[in-house]
Amino acid sequence: MTASKIQDAQPIDTLIVGAGFAGMYMLHKLRELGIGAQVVEAGSGVGGTWYWNRYPGARVDIQSLEYSFGFDAALEAEWHWSERYAPQPELLRYADHVADRFDLKRDIQFNTRITSAHWDNTEGRWLVGSEADEFWACRYLILATGCLSVPTDVTFPGIETFPRPIYRTSRWPREGVDFSGQRVGIIGTGSSAIQSIPIIAEQAVHLTVFQRTPNYSMPAHNGSIPDEDIHARASDPRGYRAASKDTPGGFQNFGNTALATQTSPDEIRAELERRWAWGGFRILGAFADTAIAPAANRIVHDFIAEKIREQVADPAVAELLTPKDHPFGTKRPCVDTGYYATFNRPNVELIDLKSDPLVAFNAGGITTAKRQHDFDAIVLATGFDAMTGAIDRIDLRGVGGRKIKDHWAEGPRTYLGLMVAGFPNMFTITGPGSPSVLTNMINSIEQHVEWIAECLASLAKRQHASIEASAEAETAWCRHVMEAVTPTMMPQANSWYMGANVPGKPRMFMPYAGGLHTYTEICRQVAAKGYEGFVIRNGDSVLSESHDFTSHPPMPDIPEALMPIIIERLMAAGLMPAA
């Protein structure tokens, strides 16, 4: 960065990058505390995920009563969701409503993409630059850049030769797309595809779905919000929120403590049917051993495979749509409306890329090993460079010019998913190492924003000191993130949680799998112990210093019967000494 740019930099206490739900709430919270803050946002409006992902059928997959802000009782009382799972346009209206209600837009600069952020150790500030060469000098930098905001760079041979439109689900045209009368091809069968396929199939004259790996999908049973939920929230709004946050996933899923491996077939069937009928993610909580014991996982797999066969008329197609390469829940499951039944339509065709690989795009469409497929439009629902993509695309340099890309060369390292050693005064909201994508994002966002705000208020009391994660605490936290996931089968899948969907990305389970409730308590204890694991300085003087992270949670309530398998896995991973 040149001296003139540094001179011209706009001074601000706190720069927040991103105006999704995280950036908006962070701004609101800092204003309440009287801490100066400005948001910069690449898009032209607020809403983050819900601003960009406008593809047909896009909707939230956690019930809207819980996937909405709980920090303000009046906001909560005045907003009425139209459906259990709000569609994207309604979520975007909600984001706009929140921004207007709290008068946030006057401190949000839109159409501004941050491309660099360098720590200036002499002045104790971040110098942050945009694509348009605008600069800010800020004491604190908060990255509210989203976990699933940067699409992967997937491309295909000959893609440039296809002369008609190619749409990405995550960069959908604002004016929408009408596929009426068109032959459409879609690549991918993750959540975005599973939501859009039924809608595109209704419009298109013919839809070809190119599937490489099938996913598990549960019915949303979307519709009006169940009376029991309306009543539960109306009668005790604070209690409803607290119950939602005091869970592993940040939403009420009524996890069963029984083990599938110790339950009779009739009771298993009844429990799974009940949860399937309720819909969404509820089946994830059917039994306490599903994520750990292969036999228990197989029971749920078999149940879902049966449900797929019930919905898909052609047994060969049903078989292709049934996941085989990963245990249930080890990749993020999908929630759909009519996905499987869409394959019964005469205008929908499934191409299995495992047995009929994609060779190239061409002027007509796509050639697979077996034949040519002609299209008027192609949709790429090919996913995101998750969790790290938005951060490591910024030229981000900490103390001594160390680049985040180098610090994260073997996978993202953070302390609590909140800070990175050697990158003082830089916070990530729902960053790698926090529960984030394994939870209801809004509840995780609220927890992070409130923790960061409290931390900044405490630093302000000490004349705006700087805070930094210690290298030791970061290492201990990374180890704990591994300890939390290793007992489960999650590392077995080639998931985006593992970075496996991006060629060359280090394989490492990125989110914290210990649960939002456990994590919240750890963060609370860390702060209560005077910011354990952090070094707080004012200029050259160290105000408080702790290099350890000892606020490990007690082992969560794990049924005794699962302990041998857990211990075996921890020992095999070198996370527990051999007996």
Which spans of this chain sit near ligand NAP (rule: CB under 6 A)?
Answer: 59-61, 148, 154, 187-193, 195, 212-213, 332, 353, 381-384, 437, 496, 501
Pairing of strands 365-368, 135-143: unpaired
State how far the alpha carbon of 67 is from the alpha carbons of 9, 476, 487, in Å: 37, 32, 29
Nearer to ligand NAP, 373 or 480 (CB): 373
CB of 339 vs ligand NAP, minimal distance in Å: 12
8 Å CB contact between 41 and 109: yes
Q: Which two tokens stand for residue 46?
A: 């607020």
Q: Which two tokens stand for residue 452?
A: 């960061």
CB of 58 vs ligand NAP, minimal distance in Å: 6
Nearer to ligand NAP, 356 or 568 (CB): 356
Nearer to ligand NAP, 65 or 426 (CB): 65
Nearer to ligand NAP, 191 or 434 (CB): 191
Look at the block and give the residue holding tokens 């598990």.
216
CB of 331 vs ligand NAP, minimal distance in Å: 7
Residues 6+ away with beta carbon under 8 Å from 135:
1, 5, 6, 8, 9, 10, 127, 128, 129
Nearer to ligand NAP, 129 or 285 (CB): 285
CB of 151 vs ligand NAP, minimal distance in Å: 8
Nearer to ligand NAP, 130 or 439 (CB): 439
8 Å CB contact between 366 and 360: yes
Instruction: Count each helix (H run) and each strand (E run) in the chain, helices first.
Output: 18, 21
| E runs forming strands in 420-540 | 426-428, 466-469, 534-538
CB of 80 vs ligand NAP, minimal distance in Å: 20
CB of 384 vs ligand NAP, minimal distance in Å: 6
Distance CA(451)–CA(427), nearest Å, equals 11
Nearer to ligand NAP, 148 or 456 (CB): 148
Look at the block and give the residue holding tokens 């459906």.
83
Nearer to ligand NAP, 64 or 213 (CB): 213
Closest CA to 56 of 206, 178, 165, 154: 178
Distance CA(355)–CA(338), nearest Å, equals 26
CB of 244 vs ligand NAP, minimal distance in Å: 16
8 Å CB contact between 384 and 404: no
8 Å CB contact between 394 and 116: yes
Output the residue with the shortest Cβ distance to ligand NAP. Answer: 190
CB of 215 vs ligand NAP, minimal distance in Å: 7
Distance CA(368)–CA(389), nearest Å, equals 30
Nearer to ligand NAP, 147 or 312 (CB): 147
Nearer to ligand NAP, 209 or 396 (CB): 209
Nearer to ligand NAP, 249 or 422 (CB): 249
Q: Which two tokens stand for residue 393?
A: 């695309």
CB of 359 vs ligand NAP, minimal distance in Å: 12
8 Å CB contact between 49 and 146: yes
8 Å CB contact between 537 and 464: no
8 Å CB contact between 535 and 470: yes
Closest CA to 63 of 286, 240, 197: 240
Look at the block and give the residue holding tokens 């419009």.
203
Closest CA to 117 of 415, 456, 420, 375: 420
CB of 166 vs ligand NAP, minimal distance in Å: 13
CB of 344 vs ligand NAP, minimal distance in Å: 21
C-beta neighbour count of 126 within 10 angstroms = 27
8 Å CB contact between 495 and 330: yes
Closest CA to 365 of 378, 380, 384: 378
CB of 213 vs ligand NAP, minimal distance in Å: 3
Nearer to ligand NAP, 59 or 105 (CB): 59
Closest CA to 250 of 109, 95, 93, 448: 448
Q: Which two tokens stand for residue 106?
A: 């006057």
Residue type, 478: C
CB of 62 vs ligand NAP, minimal distance in Å: 7
Nearer to ligand NAP, 14 or 253 (CB): 253
- Residue 426, strand partner residues: 141
CB of 17 vs ligand NAP, minimal distance in Å: 20
Nearer to ligand NAP, 153 or 548 (CB): 153
